[in-house]
Structure 1
Amino acid sequence: MSDLPVADTRPSSNWSAIWVLPLIALLIGAWLAWQAYAERGIQIQLHFESGEGIEVGKTQVVYKGMSIGAVRDLALDDGPAGGVVATLQMNRETEAYLRENTRFWLVRPSVTLAGISGLETLVSGNYIGVSPGDGEPAREFTALAEEPPLSDRTPGLHLTLKADRLGSLSRGSPVFYKQIQVGQVKQYLLGEDQRTIEVKIVVEPAYASLVRKHTRFWNASGITVDAGLSGLKIRTESLSSIVAGGIAFATPEHRKDSPPTDPVFPFRLYEDFEAAQTGIKTLVRLTDFEGLQAGRTPVMYKGMQVGTLKTLGVDPDLAGATAELTMDPMMEGSLVEGTDFWVVKPSVSLAGINGLEALVKGNFIAIRPGERDAPSKRDFDARTKAPPLDIRAPGKHLVLLTDSLGSLDVGSPVLHRQIRVGSVQSYQFSRDQQRVVVGVHIEPPYESLVNSSTRFWNASGVSVSGGLSGIEVRSESLQSLLAGGIAFETPDPLAGEGRRVERYTLHRDRDAALRQGEPISIRVARGDGLSVGTPIRFRGIEVGKVESVALTEDLQAVTLGVRISEAVEAVTRADSQFWVVRPELGLMRTANLDTLVTGPYLEVRPGKPGATAAKDFTGLAQAPVEPEGEGLRLTLSAARLGSIKVGNSVTYRGVVVGRVVGHALGPNGDRVLIRALIEPAYATLVHTGSRFWETSGIGVDISLLKGARLRTESLESLIEGGIAFATPEGDQMGNRALSGQTFALFREARDEWLDWAPKIRVGNGE
């Protein structure tokens, strides 16, 4: 028995492959649980005074346009302050920004005088805004009632302005530079001294360099109105500043090289532009200061205000005064030695009226700058009256010869298109004492307006001319009406110049000065309504005028002396045609009704190029027939002419497509051949199958069964006559008509013709 083999045994294993699946499921569940925990975000508590506009699950927390959280719950606040508590679920990435100085507020649409804010919430709904802060980590916050002011960390130049009062400024009010918004008001608060207002502003980085050490800021809110005897002055920076307030700033011209500003030091906010004193301070000692008012009297240069009288200090002996002027920075180069100041006020004398403009704007101070390369100067002694004209002054000096001075005087204006461009310097008799020599000065900017073709005339007083066509009253300007003046025109701007001191004739009026052109004569049968000044026209444009009207030596006709001023070469060709246009009144034709008011005139048809020139013409008894022009020329054969005449319309379906251009008897005298011209655009409508008929008068059809029927093409064809045609459809249409083709002209249309309506492309189409 001991020889039996012994079995080799080992304990069985309790592990089975079936346990792998539960382990994998356990790991996946743990990973999902960790993901849910990591992504669930951070819950914080936010206290609001009211829950109005906040919706659970809808109201988002937005930072720089991105949603970083949402409201998950809303409950009443049991604390002493009351209100509501909103539970916010914030993204996990915001944990580093949730600190005790972080600020939250509810953004909703708001409309105020300062503008419209929160407009995007009209689409997306109210949301909670956030501004990250510093401090210890926190999970409970109190919402602000409104959006906080811009942070000092906002890019730009941050400044403090001190003002005596706030005016209409508010948060968000614009900051302007030359009426361009370059910044805004961040906030305002009462100063430490309890008497001033501190206004915090930020200027955008792109414009920060505009603020210098000597920059002046002023309140540009609303409208500034300054009214008095000297006039009404209204100033505003922009429309938005009228409503919402605003601040403007500028750096005086003579301070442009001022160093950059230091934001630590505050600026003064002046009450208005005048108080900011952005101009150049100039002192002028006056012996005549009548009518001057501090803050209102302007300083004028050639009609443009270049400064203001700021203060006026009268001397103790009342013999003079010292005026402090605020001059526009653009005049800095003109404030030099040799600059003249004087007071302008209206004065009346036998020589005329001086200072007429002061009657409207009040007495003012005038300035005449000295040489720009002279030494700079800031204090002056005013002259007692306007300085005499300097013959050596830059500009053009002219000599005008005239038979009579009229009301001209030294200082009388020289006008071009009613703009003053110079003045009269002097006047005296010529050497033979037969004429008057007038010295004239043209100011430098206008020298190029005068050349050898310039014509001058005396523009003093009022010029009145009248006739059958009406009465014309002409005056160059109010100033020349009262004080005299000279006007001029330059027909050829490219003409050359004459001698150094040019001589011209001073004509008595404009017509005499500008009279030019080619004189011709026209013989007409009668002169009814024609007079000196009757125009000669071509296509409505005046090309000349009648200068004389006289009977011929045989008393059988009238000779018109005419001066052609426009298109002279074309109008004076030998084959040019002239005729008198008068009103036509009648049943068959009414035309030229405007001549009932303006009187008759002469019309001209210029001759053909290449014709020889002529000076004597014979007027036509009536207007010539117009040339036929381009188009499809057809001949219509009729038994009688009827009421057809040249000029009648040719219509297709009531639309005018051509006209009658002529008519004559046939070769055998048994027919009338009428020539018609179809406009090129409508030539495709005429085919060999087309039918033409007269549209003159009224067609009447009477039937016992159908009654009476009246038929006419149009009121025009009823009175004047006309021709109409129709084209059949299909094979009856035939081929396109050719120029010169002949068609029969029927007395009236058949009913089936009126129903024809083929589709034919008009214009350039085939």
Structure 2
Amino acid sequence: MSQENNEQEDVVYKPRVKPKKAASFIWLLPIIIACILGWIAYESYMKKGTNIQIVFKSAEGLKEGVTPLEYKGLQLGKVTKIDIHEDLKNVKVNILVKSEAAKYVASESSRFWIRKPTVSLTKISGLSTLISGNKIEISPTIKTKKEIENAKDKYLFIGLDSQPDDELTNDGYYVSLLANDKDNVEVGTPIFYNQYQVGEIVSKEFKFEKVFLNAYIYDKFNYLINNSSKFTMNDALKVSYGPSGLKVEVSSLYSALVGGITVTTPNKNEEKIKKDEVYTLYASKDDLKKKEYFHIKFSSANNIDKDTPIIYKGITIGKITSLTLNEEDVSTKAFVYNEYRYLLSENSKFFIQKPELNFSGAKNLANIIKGNYISLHYKEGDFKNMFIAQEYKEIKNEIYNKTLDLYTNSLNSLSKKSRIYYKNIAIGKVLSYDLSKNLQKVKVKISIEKKYEKLINDHTLFYDMSSKLIDMKNLDLSINYDGYEPLLNGGIGILTEKRKSKLAKSYFKLYDTFQEVQRLKRIYNKGSIVKAYFKNDFNVQKDMAIIYKNQEIGFVKSIKFGENESRAKLLIYSQFKKYLTPTSRFYKKSKLDVKASLNGISFEMDNYTSLLEGSIHLESKSNMTYKKYKIFPNEDEMKDSSNSITIAFDDVEGVHEQFSQLTYKGVKIGKVTNIDLDKNHKVILKAQIYKDYEDFAKKGTVFYLKKPRISFQEIANAGATVMAVNIGVVKSNSKSFANKFKGYTTMPSLEKTQFGNIYTVESFHALKANLDSPIYYKNVQIGKVHKVGLASDGSRVLIDCLIYDKYTKLVRQNSRFYDISGFEMELSLFSDSKIESNTFTSIIKGGLILVTPMEYNRRANGKDKFELIKTLPQGWDKISPSIK
């Protein structure tokens, strides 16, 4: 057994060799994860951005995590933190800038300012900032890529107060203005030329202790502004006073709310203003006028102060600029405008004008509240710039340099307060009175103002205006009344004529009454006898005055009565005989003519002579010739004989005789004299044309009732609600005569009126526009809605549009009318909101706007029809054809 075991051989097994496998994929997973994490870390680092800090005076409107940093609308970063600055006066704003923009933002060339929303009467923009807050804008000082690469990095900045000037459009027209210390001008303040906005203030800056403004002139108005232009502030409220009293002038509501600047350009051919030139912004137009400065000394200030006006003949010619109190007087510095420099004569005398109170009324009453003013008495002489003021009474006495003596039987009510009157105008005054040397008469010394000396000659007649108020003799009532001042203070009247001979007499008789001097005057006058005939149904008396254009030209010398018709002999003074022509006629003017009705009272009184005895008036213009001169009982019957027309109406409610007027373009051209019914129950009006009868008595002339229209949208002819209804007139161009016409209840549809042409616009629905609603072209009113009605078949609304004559060329065959009544509003939380309206008038009354395309057709006529379009197209305001 052991042998068998020994015999066993050792067995060596050959190892099995397997081929070696490649690296395991499991090791790739950590590598991929590591790469992804590295990429994320890289991306996070790259997108983290760069922090910069900006110091502002205030953080109002800025919010952490919300307020963006922008450049021309592109967001470059965001505010991350807002802290108080170390100086405790400013704030420090931290901004995280996007990495890709860091090299442009964190640069020494960057400047930063805060953009705020703009809300004004003219525009609303940036409303989105009301939710997100203000924005921070960047403004680089360098523009090229090479300059940016060479710029040094910077991370701390001082913010600007407003947008820098060089941010404005390079090719825009900008004008630098130096504001007055008193001016309060904000960004957005409009600039006007002839009350039309041509630009606005786009920025303001305080430097060198002065306020500088940057004004932008809109491109299309560049030609209006040049080196000769002057800029002044608008006066929203102007308070001034003068001899007429206190005056308060209020500008438009727009100017009162937003102010404004007005520019005037006297020379359109001057060169344009360079950007580096600075122009003065004047506080008012008064500052533009050239002035001549001088000095006045007063014994006392006597309620005058700085800005006290200097007024001459009711015109403000200058002002007091300063006062200095001296030991003996008050010295003032003043100026007059250069155009009045000639008034500073060595013979001129200055005085303080004070209020006056007497029986004739109050003069300069505003001075009691506002203060006195400075005036002067001018006399030609060499120039002088230093004056000593005098008392007004002293100067006034020097003016009265012609003295005369009047002799009368009794002084009556005359006193030193009595004045001398010519045609009820005071031309002098009574200086003194005393008994004559023989003690039989009263001698009254009077003085006549120098400028009225030529009225006095040897044939002048003086009469007492206050001797007797009422005198009755032989049932002939005489009334002596020329106003209450002569009645209370006494007065002397004169009757005079121009004579070639000079005044030689130094004394005159003072007659007791006007009737005495009137009869004497008639005796002295030479003339011609004219025969005139009148019917016996009214009274013509001897000695009645003949009046022509408020001037006595003769009187009734005698009367020969007939059974049905009488004859009057009229003495016409020689110098007035030339006014009698074959078309002349006469009418009687009553002493007192009163016509009353529920519509009012017509009260007429002629001159002094007519009040006593009536008068006969001459009318030289008529359309008829007469074989013999006639005297009519009144003016209406005289005019009815030649200047009358008849108008037939269906109904004339509100029309009244003598009170209803015929009006053409707002001017009264006639009146209704009679209303009656004919056999066909038509109302027949008889109307009288005052003058230009031939122009209105033509075939085709239109007459219509101007009844009141009162609604929420408009008030028209409101006076007719309580007074008589007037009749409107549309003149005809026909050459054919007519004196019978058809009347209309309202103005009919016409192709042309005296105001312009009428075009018909059709609409399928009613609109807010009503009668007289405005029609605009480029926001300028060129007409109004003349009539609104339905088509005969009721399918459409027809709108008659009246376009004024000077604008009719704008209406072309392919023009379009748009409805702009009311306003449109768009509100959005995520974009700018918009409120659009045209004019306040269009909101209340409605309105239309006319747009004519660039390629316009022939002129439109009354046969062309237009369709009313409800919505204005985009860019309509850019359509601006040159229409010839």
The interval holding the TM-score normalised by the smaller chain is: 0.3 to 0.5
What's the TM-score once normalised by structure 1's chain length? 0.40
